[in-house]
Amino acid sequence: MKSDTIAAIATAMTNSGIGIIRMSGSEAFEIIDKIYKSKNGMKKISQAESHTVHYGYIYDGDKVIDEVLVIVLRGPHSYTAEDTVEIDCHGGSLVMRRILETVIRYGARPAEPGEFTKRAFLNGRIDLSQAESVMDVIQADNDFALESSVHQLRGALRDEIVRLRGKVIHEIAFIESALDDPEHINLDGYGETLLKIVEEACEVVDKLLKSSEDGELLKEGIHTVIVGKPNAGKSSLMNRLVGRERSIVTEIAGTTRDALEEQINLGGITLHVVDTAGIRETEDIVEKIGVDRAKEYVARADLIIYVVDSSIPLDENDDEIIKLIQNRRTIILWNKSDLEPVVKMEELQFAADHKIIPVSAKDGTGINDLGEAIKEMFFRGDISYNNEVYITNVRQKTALEEAFKSLRMVKESIEAGMPEDFYSIDLMNAYEELGAIIGESVGEDLVNEIFSKFCMGK
Residue 70 sits at the vertex; the CA angle it makes with 66 and 72, to the nearest 5 degrees, is: 160
Q: What angle in degrees, to the nearest 10, is found between the helix axes of 190-220 and 367-379? A: 160
Rounded mean pLDDT of the chain?
Answer: 84
Order across the sheet with 269-275: list the strands.
260-266, 269-275, 222-228, 303-309, 330-335, 355-358
Domains located in the chain, CATH noted:
6-111 (3.30.1360.120), 132-216+393-452 (1.20.120.430), 226-379 (3.40.50.300)
Which residue, 243, 222, 175, 195, is CA-closest to 374?
222
Mean pLDDT is highest, among 99-113, 317-331, 439-453, for 99-113
3-state secondary structure of 303: strand
Given a contact cutoff of 8 angstroms between Cβ atoms, the answer to whether 311 and 228 are in contact is no
Instruction: Tell me the mean pLDDT in the region 197-217.
Output: 86
How confident is the model over 311-327, as pLDDT tens digits? 888 888 888 888 888 88
Q: Give burial (CB, 10 Å; 0-12/13-18/19+) of 60.
A: middle
25-38 residue pLDDT tens: 999 999 999 999 99
Residue 247, pLDDT above cutoff 50: no
- Give the model's pLDDT for residue 249: 42
AA identity, residue 363: D
Q: Each residue of 396-416: b (16+ CB within 10 Å) or e?
A: bbebbebbbebbbbbbebbee
d(CA 177, CA 27): 48
| Residue 337: pLDDT band with limits 50, 70, 90 | confident
Q: Are strands 222-228 and 269-275 parallel, antiparallel or unpaired?
A: parallel
SS3 for 219-266, per residue? HHCEEEEEEECCCCCHHHHHHHHHCCCCCCCCCCCCCCCCCEEEEEEE
Best mean pLDDT range from 142-151, 218-227, 417-426: 417-426
Q: Residue 341: what pLDDT?
A: 80
Say whether pLDDT at 88 is over 60: yes
Residue range 102-128: mean pLDDT, rounded = 94
How far is CA 8 from its chain centroid?
25
Termini Cα distance of the chain:
22
On whether the CB atoms of residues 226 and 370 are closer than 8 A, the answer is no
Q: How far apart are CA 448 and CA 74, in angstroms?
A: 26
Which is more confident, 442 or 238?
A: 238
Rounded to an integer, the average pLDDT of 371-382 is 75
CA distances from 113 to 19, 310, 448 (A): 18, 54, 10
Across residues 19-46, what is the average pLDDT? Answer: 91
CA proximity to 278, closest of 301, 247, 302: 247
* Most confident among 173-177, 226-230, 373-377, 429-433 (mean pLDDT): 429-433
How many C-beta atoms surround the C-beta of residue 264 within 10 A? 17
pLDDT for 214 beyond 90: no
| Of residues 241, 456, 222, the one with CA closest to residue 333 | 241
Mean pLDDT, rounded, for 10-25: 91
Reduced to 3 states, what is the DSSP secondary structure of residue 456? coil
Interatomic CA distance for residues 110 and 5, integer angstroms? 9
E runs forming strands in 267-407: 269-275, 303-309, 330-335, 355-358
